Amino acid sequence: MKIVIDTNRIIAALVKYSTTRKILFDKNFEFITPDYTISEINEHKDELKSMTHTGDEEFGILMALIFEHIKIVPESNYKNSINECKN
């Protein structure tokens, strides 16, 4: 089953070990997210590192672990469907 996951859920998984993080690691699901999710997370990187009490390296490892389970979809794959989805 493919599930589109938004930035807020990914941030929730980054911030603490929770149900959200457990679900992201569940092999029964295939998670996908738009490519701008990385940009949104990077905009708040310093705040997130503070909340998780991690440095650059640790935060990078945590990001890598979480994104091993999430396929990033480039905008070119969905750009022509944005207006249709809004309707």
Instruction: Supply the pLDDT for residue 86.
Output: 67
Q: In percent, how much of the chain has pLDDT > 90?
A: 78
Domains of the chain: 2-86 (3.40.50.1010)
User: Rounded to the nearest 5 degrees, what angle is found at the Cα of 4, between the Cα atoms of 23 and 21?
Assistant: 20
Tokens of 23: 């679900």
Give CA–CA dist 51/48, Å, rounded: 5
State pTM to two decimals: 0.82
- Residue 55, SS3 per DSSP: coil
| pLDDT lower than 70: segments of the chain | 82, 85-87
